[in-house]
């Protein structure tokens, strides 16, 4: 077995990668337009706006209008990328996303940033631990959570070329650099395996990739072999990949910066219970608001860090005997 050891201190901002690839795509595809709601400096769409001011629309703090304008531009043959903070886009704009964008299966790419607990100091009103559940339940909506900058750029290129509504979730925090630009290409229906293992499969995405790898290395010192899988797509799910991991390891732990209700853990548990039942533990927020604090402190408070993953794995191993 080939062992990979990632440098867990080597991290970058996916928001920066998003802004850069938008400006790059704007050069080659004049149909691409970008919309924001008075947060373009934070979402990094401002770089597109400076380069292509006639294709950039800041609608102000009006998220419902943001979604409807994007729908209209899509109906006119444009390819909109729509950005704001995750809590505002999925929360305030949900009805318009459902009834205007998804109902008509429009090619609108919702790229919402500052997801999860990354706005820790601003408190629960600005944190989004429900957004994946809100988007996942909408018919036809793809839900994607890139792991790093390379995957973010590849996902945005995929989104530009692929019809239909998509929700792409990005953190404010820096994420671990996992992939090589020359070697990686996003595949919606295939989860990359970051570390091989035989005793348990850890499914994680976004910022939680780093926590899963930290747990993997800690478990290795206890002679527990953990397979780490980048579950970048929450909908649609690559069921064969999930079932194969369940069959190979006999136990699964899911890790998400989101509520365990309706998110990645729920999605994978649904597949496993129907297709290949094995014990599953879900590491995530457990039906509560986080409050105000640093992101790392909130991870600890809610139990969604590497220590919580290690504890979940130990529990499964003990149960299995």
Question: Mean pLDDT by 10-residue block, N- to C-terminus, for the chain (321 residues)?
Answer: 76 96 96 97 96 97 97 98 98 98 98 96 94 98 98 98 98 95 95 97 98 97 97 98 98 98 98 97 96 95 97 92 67
Question: Residue 254 has what pLDDT?
Answer: 98
193-320 matches 11-176 in CATH topology: yes
Where do the domains of the chain lie? 11-176, 193-320
Question: Residue 152 has what pLDDT?
Answer: 98
CATH number of 193-320: 3.40.50.920
The pTM of the full predicted model, rounded to 2 decimals, is 0.96
How far is 127 from 121, CA to CA, in rounded Å? 9
Question: Residue 5 has what pLDDT?
Answer: 80
Question: Residue 11 has what pLDDT?
Answer: 95
Question: Residue 2 has what pLDDT?
Answer: 45
- Which residues belong to the active site? 63
Question: Residue 4 has what pLDDT?
Answer: 66
Question: Residue 319 has what pLDDT?
Answer: 86
CATH topology for the 11-176 domain: Rossmann fold (3.40.50)
* 37 to 65, 69, 75: CA distances (angstroms): 9, 11, 20
């Amino acid at each position: 077995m080939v062992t990979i050891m990632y440098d867990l201190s080597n991290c970058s901002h996916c928001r920066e990668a998003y802004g850069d690839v938008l400006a790059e795509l704007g050069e080659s595809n004049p149909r691409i337009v970008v919309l924001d709601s008075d947060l373009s400096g934070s979402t990094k769409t401002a770089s597109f706006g400076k380069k292509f001011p006639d294709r950039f629309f800041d609608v102000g703090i009006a998220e419902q209008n943001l979604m409807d304008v994007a729908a209209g531009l899509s109906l006119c043959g444009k390819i909109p990328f729509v950005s704001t903070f995750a809590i505002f886009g999925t929360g305030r704009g949900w009805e318009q996303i459902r009834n205007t964008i998804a109902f008509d299966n429009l090619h609108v790419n919702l790229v919402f940033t500052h997801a999860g607990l990354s706005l820790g100091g601003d408190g629960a009103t600005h944190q989004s631990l429900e957004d994946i559940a809100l988007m996942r339940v909408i018919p036809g909506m793809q839900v994607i959570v890139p792991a790093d900058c390379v995957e973010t750029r590849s996902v945005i290129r995929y989104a530009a070329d692929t019809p239909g509504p998509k929700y792409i979730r990005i953190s404010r925090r820096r994420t671990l650099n996992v992939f090589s630009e020359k070697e990686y290409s996003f595949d919606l229906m295939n989860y990359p395996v970051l570390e091989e293992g035989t005793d348990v499969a850890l499914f994680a995405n976004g910022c939680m990739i780093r926590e899963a790898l930290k747990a993997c290395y800690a478990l290795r010192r206890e002679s527990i072999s953990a397979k780490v899988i980048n579950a970048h797509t929450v909908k649609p799910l690559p069921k064969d990949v999930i079932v194969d991991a369940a069959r190979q390891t006999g136990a699964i732990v899911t890790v998400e910066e989101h509520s365990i209700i309706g998110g990645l853990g729920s999605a994978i548990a649904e597949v496993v219970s129907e297709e290949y039942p094995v014990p599953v533990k879900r590491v995530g927020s457990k039906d509560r608001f986080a409050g105000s604090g640093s992101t790392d402190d909130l991870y600890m408070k809610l139990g969604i860090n590497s220590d919580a993953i290690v504890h979940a794995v130990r529990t499964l191993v003990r149960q299995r005997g």
